[in-house]
Each structure stands twice: as C-alpha cells, then as structure tokens.
Amino acid sequence: AQKVTQAQTEISVVEKEDVTLDCVYETRDTTYYLFWYKQPPSGELVFLIRRNSFDEQNEISGRYSWNFQKSTSSFNFTITASQVVDSAVYFCALRRVGGGSNYKLTFGKGTLLTVNP
Amino acid sequence: NAGVTQTPKFQVLKTGQSMTLQCAQDMNHNSMYWYRQDPGMGLRLIYYSASEGTTDKGEVPNGYNVSRLNKREFSLRLESAAPSQTSVYFCASSVAPGTSGGYEQYFGPGTRLTVT
C-alpha cells in the first residue's frame, strides 16, 4: 500500500521567512511519481511540480525549491522569502507508474501555511 | 482554454434526494477522475475513467455512480444523498500514462455539497 505523510498540520511564519514543508512517503515500487499541489483560500487545486523517482536532481523555480531524497523517502518543499500570497494548504501526492488502478493519486492530509505580514 | 469546469459550485440537498455533478475538460485529456475532500482526510478518489468508455471504482465509491459521456465530460451521480456525503467534490483530468508530460492531474474549482 502507498502512503504519504505530511506531519506538519499547520505552519505560521512571518513574511520573508523561509519555510520548509515536509513530505514522507511509503511505497514498495522502485519507480513512481511525486507531486506537490497548492490549494489557496479560494479552493482550487493548483499543480506545482512532478518529480520522477529515477531523477534525484533537485529543482528550483523562483522562490520555490524541492529536495527529493530517495534514501529517506522524502520530498520536501521550501519557499524562500515567503509572501502573504503563499498562504494556502499544500498537498504532497504519490502515484504509481502505469495504468489500471495505478491511476490513483495518493494524497497526504496537507499542511496549512499561513504567512503573516 | 477553460481547463476543467464543474457545475454547480454549491448545492444543498435533503437526505434522500438525488443529483448529478457535471464536469468537463477542454484539454483533450483521456483520463478523468472524481475526488472528495473532507477536513483532515486529504483527497480521496471516488471513481475514475482511464479513457472514454471505461470507468472504475476508486477508494470510496459507495453511494455514487459515474458516467463518462464522451471524451470531454464525466459526471458523478448521488442517487440517494446522505449527510455523510457532505463534502467538497473535485473533478480532475490528465493525459494517459506513457504520454509525454503525463501523470499530473489538473483539477476543477470544486463543488461544495451539503446534505441535511
């Protein structure tokens, strides 16, 4: 069975602080995909990034960066110089490779990030 | 492109009533999904459709039915609504696995359903 754990239920920071959101996953598969989604207060789910398990290169996109460590089954997300607009619930998700029942995204329960001015 | 659209945005039902949630996507995606989101539970898959003409159960299918009307549209039906079905419902779509850029799912804005 697959499982995604986001141990931080809520995080509160002051604007311009750096913040890291943790994601730990469990899977027996050797290849898989990991994702981060953002859900702002308006409610929609916004896709942020996909990471393939066979590519351990870390990725940076503006103020966002992702640290994938297969050895510790973690896929952490860091926001540098946080802004009020970053306030949202962030979900980490895992998906098996292939079709059939593998279509399912397994989501963590989410981390509510509040960035205060 | 509108992406994934859902109607209605909000709905209140009485126990025992039925309704259909509509979803459409204009991204030419093969696969479509229905999730529900409950506080503290994350998102859970109700049903999915890998391609036009096929549907399969997800984690929590009881009390729901789906129809993949064509490649664009995927509807979710509650035949006899129960208070336990009070939730936010999201539709999503993706290209088929194996296709370049596939696997990530794109979500609609959600339908907030209350069953009293």
CA dist., res. B17 & res. B4, Å (int): 26
pLDDT, position B80 = 96
CA dist., res. B29 & res. A74, Å (int): 30
Which of A3, A50, A105, A106 to substitute to test the interface with B, most B CBs within 10 Å? A105
Which of B43, B66, B87 to substitute to test the interface with A, most A CBs within 10 Å? B43
pLDDT at B108 over 80: yes
pLDDT at B116 over 70: yes
Q: Beta strand B31-38 with B19-25: parallel, antiparallel or unpaired? A: unpaired
pLDDT, position B85 = 97
Beta-carbon contacts of residue A94 (< 8 Å; ≥ 6 apart):
A2, A3, A4, A25, A27, A32, A33, A34, A35, A105, A106
Residues of chain B positioned with their CB less than 8 A from the CB of A37: 107
pLDDT, position A105 = 86
Q: If contacts are CB pairs under 8 Å, which of residues 14-43 in chain A contact chain B?
A: 33, 35, 37, 43
Nearest CB to B110: which of A44, A97, A110?
Answer: A44
- Tens of pLDDT along B77-89? 999 999 999 999 9
Question: Is the CB of residue B105 less than 8 Å from the CB of residue B33?
Answer: yes
CA dist., res. B107 & res. A100, Å (int): 20
Strand partners, B106: B93
| Confidence grade of residue B106 (pLDDT, cut at 50, 70, 90) | very high
pLDDT, position B40 = 79
What is the largest distance, in Å, between two alpha-carbon atoms of chain B? 44
pLDDT, position A101 = 57
CA dist., res. B60 & res. A104, Å (int): 12
- Tens of pLDDT along B23-76? 999 999 888 999 999 987 889 999 999 888 899 999 899 999 999 989 999 999
pLDDT, position A20 = 97
Angle at A19 between CA A17 and CA A21, to 5 degrees: 170
pLDDT, position B98 = 57
pLDDT at B100 over 60: no
Full pLDDT tens readout for chain A, 117 residues: 889 999 999 999 999 999 999 999 999 988 889 999 999 999 999 999 988 888 777 888 899 999 999 999 999 999 999 999 999 999 999 988 766 556 778 999 999 999 999
Exposed/middle/buried for residue B83 (C-beta within 10 Å: 0-12, 13-18, 19+)? exposed
Sign of torsion, CA A84 A25 B37 B91?
A: positive
Question: Is the CB of residue B92 less than 8 Å from the CB of residue B21?
Answer: no
Residues of chain B positioned with their CB less than 8 A from the CB of A46: 107
CA dist., res. A116 & res. B29, Å (int): 38
**Phi, psi of A86, rounded to the nearest 5 degrees:** -80, -10
Residue of B nearest to A91 (CA): B42
Sign of torsion, CA B69 B1 B38 B115?
A: negative
Exposed/middle/buried for residue A110 (C-beta within 10 Å: 0-12, 13-18, 19+)? buried
Do the Cβ atoms of A50 and B97 come within 8 Å? no
pLDDT, position A100 = 59
Do the Cβ atoms of A91 and B42 come within 8 Å? yes
